[in-house]
Structure 1
C-alpha cells in the first residue's frame, strides 16, 4: 500500500532535493504535492489528505506553524516533520502542541532524514493496520450482536447461546430497554412490480436511514428486519424510555417524506414499547406488537404497546383476535412446511365464515381481506407465488369482491401453498445443502444472509428450518464446527495457532483464542499442550 507525502518549502532547490534525493518509491511513498508556502500546502493537504508532511517553518504568505494549525483545524491527522534552522529550534518546539512527529535541522542531513521518514512510515503503517483491525472487529461484533438479537426476536435463544454473553452479564437476566416496530401499510401491493433486487435495495436503504435517524435520538439501537416492509428497532439505552411522542412524530415525518419520494401510496405505522423487556420475552412482544397493528385502524400512525391490554378489550376485539389466530396458523403451516396445518386453516376458516355471515358479515369481510394480504406477503417471502399470479390477485382486490369470492381466493391460495410445499425441496434436502455449504466455506467470512441467498429462501425461514433440523442456531452450529475442526488441527498438525484460526474462519488470533477458550475451557496453546502430553 502506497503512502502519500506532501513536501513544503519556499526554497526551490531544497524542494527539488527533498523530492529527488530521498528514495520515496523504495520507502513506499507517492509524492502527491509540492508547495512553496502554507496557503499552497493547505490546499494540497485538504485535497490529498497525505499520510506524511515535510514542512519548513519560515515561509512567505503563511508560515509552517500557521499551516499546521489550520491543517489540524481541518481534521487532518497527517504525521508532520518540521524542517528548521538551528536558531529556530525553540520556535520549532511550539509545533509539538500540534502533534509534530519530529524535526530536522537545516542544513538537511538526508541520511538522517531518510531514517526518520522510514521510522515514521513504519509507525503510519502500524497505525493503519491497527485501525483496520479495530474496524474489522467492530464490524464483526456488530454482525454478531445483530444475529444474536435476531435469534432472540425469533424465539431461538438457547441456554448454550447465553455462554457468549460477557462474563459480567452472564449471571443476569439480559434485557433490552424497549422496542419499536415499524410497518409499511400496503407495502406488498405497492412493491408488486419491483424486481427482487429492487425490493432488497430499497429495504436496505430504509434500514440504513432508520439506523442513522434513531442513533441520533438514542445512541445504542439496533435495526432488525425479519420480513420486507417491516423493521424492528431494539433499544439498549435508558434514554429511549424518555423519548416523547413529539420526537417520534418528527421521526415519522422524516421517514414518510423519504418513503413518499418514490412510493407516495405507502404509509408508515409505529408500535412503541418504552419499558424494559427480558430477551426471552422478545418473541412474544414482537407477535403482540404485530397483533396491535391488526387491532387498530390503519389510519393510526402510532400504537402504544406499554403495559398490557385489559382482557376485556381483547375479548371485545374478537374479530381481530380470530384473525390473529388464523394468521398464526397460516404462518406456522407455511414456514414449518406443514400442509396439514394449512388444510386445518381452510376447514376452520370455512366454518368460521359460515357462522358469521348472518351476524357480522362486514367484520368477516374485513377479516378475509386482511388474511388474504397476509397470505400474499408470506407466500412472496417464501417464494411460493409467481409474480404474474400475485398481480392477478392484487387486480382482484382492486375491485369489489363478495365474502364468498374472498373466501374462494384464499382457499385456492392455501391449496396452492400445499402443492408448493409438496413440490418444494424438503427441509431435509435444504439443510443437507446448508451443511455442505458451511463445511466448504468454514474458513471464509459468511453469514445467514449469504447462505439463505444460496438456498433461495428468506433469512427468517432459514433460521426456523435450521433450528428445527439441527436443534441449535446457525451461529452455535457454525461455532461448534469451527472449534471442533480447530481442535483436530491442533492435535494433528504443526500449523501455528494463528494459521489454524484463519483456516477455520478467525482472522484475528486474539478473537479466536477467546472463542476457543469459552468453548473448551482452555486456550488453543493449552489444548495443544494437553493433547500432545496425552498422546
Structure 2
C-alpha cells in the first residue's frame, strides 16, 4: 500500500478528498491530512508519505514552499498539485521540483483516480527496476563479498559472529540448512576437470552450491543446501568414483554440519586457517580468486607463544612447530612468523625458551 497525505486549508475540501474515493481499492492508505504547509511538512518528516495531494495557496507555508522543503528530505515523494483558475504561473514554478501532476479545482473524481493509478504503476515499475539494478550490483559484488568474508573471518577469529552477520544478508545465506563437503587428495594439476565433474554431480542429484569451491593444498570444499542423507551418499559415491590420469590416490570425502549457517562457516574457517594460499573458484565459470592468509598476523603469533608457554612438556614443542611450519609454507612467510615469535615478547614480558629458537 502506498502512503497518501492530503493537504488543504479548507476543511470541506480535505474531507471531500478523503471520502470521495475508495483509496484502499487503488492501493493507497490515507495516513494524514493537514490544514497548511507547515503542518504538512512536520507530518512528512514523521510519516514519510509516498504521495502528497496539496493545494497551492495556503497560510503559513504554501504548496510550492512545502514541495521545496519536503523534496530536500525525501526526493521520492510524488506530489499532486491542486490549483484553481488563474494559478497556472504557480504550477509552472512547481515544475522545477519535478511536479508533473496537476488537478484543477473543483477536483474531478475520475481524473484523480486516473492520476493515482498512473503514479502507482510508475512507482511499481521503478521498484522493479531498482530491485533489478540492486540484483545486478550484488551479482557484480558477489565474488569480492565472498572473498571478503573469508579474509575478515581469518583475520578476526575472535570476532567471527559479527563478521559473519555482516556478510550473511549480502550473500543471502539462510539461517539453517547448509552443509559442506570436503574432498581430499585433489591435486591442482587436475583441478579443472574435477570442478567440471562437481557441476555435473551436483546437477544430477539436485544439490545446490551456495558458495564458490574453496581449494587449499589438495583439498576442495564446497557448501551446499538441501542436506539430505541421500544427497550426501550420492555425492560421496560419485566423487570417490572419479579418476584422472596420473591420479595416484582415491579421493576421500567427508561432510561438515552445523546447527546454523554461522556454525558451519566457523568450522570451515577453522579448517582452512592453517593454509597460506587459498583459492576461491566458481565451478560453473571457472572464475578463480587467489588470496593469501596472513600467517604472521599478530594474533597468530600471540596464540603460538601462548601455546609454547603452556606446553607441559618439551616433547610437545616439535609437534607445535610442525603444525605451524608446514611443507607448503613459503620461506618468506616462515621467516616472518619466526621473527614475530622471537622478537616480540608477549604481555607477560617473558622471552621464548632458548631451545625453541
TM-score normalised by the chain length of structure 1: 0.34
TM-score by length of 2: 0.50
Kindly indicate whether structure 1 or structure 2 has the higher relative contact order, using CA contacts under 8 Å at least 6 residues apart.
Answer: 2
Whichever structure has more strand as a proportion of its residues is: 2
More helix by share: 1
